[in-house]
Amino acid sequence: MTLERTAAPRPTWRQRVRDPGWGLIFVLPMLVLFVIFRFVPSLGAVGMSFTDYRLSGEFTFIGAENYRRLIEDDLFFDSLRVTLLYALMYVPLTLVVSLGTATMLHHVVRGRGLFRGLLFLPYVTSFVMAGIIWIWIYQSDGLINGALERIGLGPVAFLTGNQAMVLGSLAIVSVWKSFGYSMLILLAGLKNIPEDLMEAATLDGAGAWAKFRRITLPLLRPVIFFVLVIETIVAFQVFDTIYVMTGGGPARASYGLVYMLYDQGFKFFDFGYAATIGVMLFLVVLVISLVQRYVLDRENT
């Protein structure tokens, strides 16, 4: 007796239109909000970058004059350098802390939910509150310097020292504030690694470090690169921590691109030039994200 496989009937054109239509109806409210509050303002900022737009609402079309001015502005390149240095400190440190805490949580048997909530708690606090807390920790009679004085090392100027000290101190605050998000993403990636591979490696005599290096890291590579892209974007958008803790100082040692955008737009009310800085910031982040995406695709293939 032979069984004949009957082909499934092809959906009619009404079904092909109706099914995606229902999905569009469900996402339509969020799509409308995205277009109104994200897409349209972004296009408006691009258009504003070609104008001399003032607080009164009057504007004059000046073409690429703002971009020429930006290329000749030494402050822009100094701010870009500060932002790059900050990203080079913040992104690797965030990845290491997030991966370390995710790995520990993955092996915790009892109280996993409690520890996860405690580690994620800084992420849900505001940057302003985090900045105020860490100003007290970093100040000359604060928690860290108090401990250093007891062992005879003296006070350290965390927020008023050289550029490396200031940016490193700010990066530590941002890592403490933000690592919980990446930790949860990496923890989800760890849970998707088959336990059979770990058991087989244990039977073959592999230690914890060998299993982590040979199994965990290769299988976690797509998640790690996703975290790198997200945290790089976060690093280039840093503003709250700088605004609360240093105000761009000392001597503009922490004067990043977004802080420069804020000054031009809301201190000097030069909205056209501020929009130009925002467009250039978008292009810089886009190029870095594309490079990371290229590396991700190459590693996966």
Summary mean pLDDT of the chain = 86
Which helix (H) or strand (E) segment is 60 a member of? strand 59-61
**219-225: long-range contacts, CB 8 A cutoff, minimum separation 24:** 219/189, 219/192, 219/193, 220/186, 220/189, 220/190, 220/193, 221/299, 221/300, 222/189, 222/296, 222/300, 223/185, 223/186, 223/188, 223/189, 224/95, 224/99, 224/186, 224/189, 225/292, 225/295, 225/296, 225/299
Confidence band of 25 (pLDDT split at 50, 70, 90):
confident
Q: Global pTM?
A: 0.85
- 269 has a pLDDT exceeding 80: yes
**164-168: long-range contacts, CB 8 A cutoff, minimum separation 24:** 164/85, 166/246, 166/250, 166/253, 166/254, 167/82, 167/85, 167/86, 167/89, 167/253, 167/254, 168/89
pLDDT in tens, 101-134: 998 888 886 777 888 888 888 998 888 888 899 9
3-class DSSP assignment, residue 1: coil
Instruction: Please report, for residues 63, 215, 229, the alpha-carbon distance to residue 278 in angstroms, rounded to integers and kept in the order given.
Output: 16, 41, 19
The residues that bridge with 60 in the sheet, in sequence order, are 52
CATH of 65-126+164-300, one of 1.10.3720.10, 1.20.1050.10, 3.30.450.20, 1.10.20.60: 1.10.3720.10
- Whether 66 and 276 have beta carbons less than 8 Å apart is answered as yes
Rounded distance between C-alpha atoms, residue 277 and residue 158, angstroms: 29
- 298 has a pLDDT exceeding 70: no
pLDDT in tens, 51-65: 998 777 788 899 899
Confidence band of 11 (pLDDT split at 50, 70, 90):
low
pLDDT in tens, 135-155: 999 988 888 888 888 888 778
pLDDT in tens, 195-242: 888 888 888 787 888 888 888 888 888 898 889 989 999 999 999 999
Predicted confidence at residue 301, as pLDDT, reads 45
Confidence band of 16 (pLDDT split at 50, 70, 90):
low
Poorest-confidence range of 154-158, 183-187, 294-298? 294-298
Locate the domains of the chain by residue range: 65-126+164-300
- Whether 204 and 173 have beta carbons less than 8 Å apart is answered as no
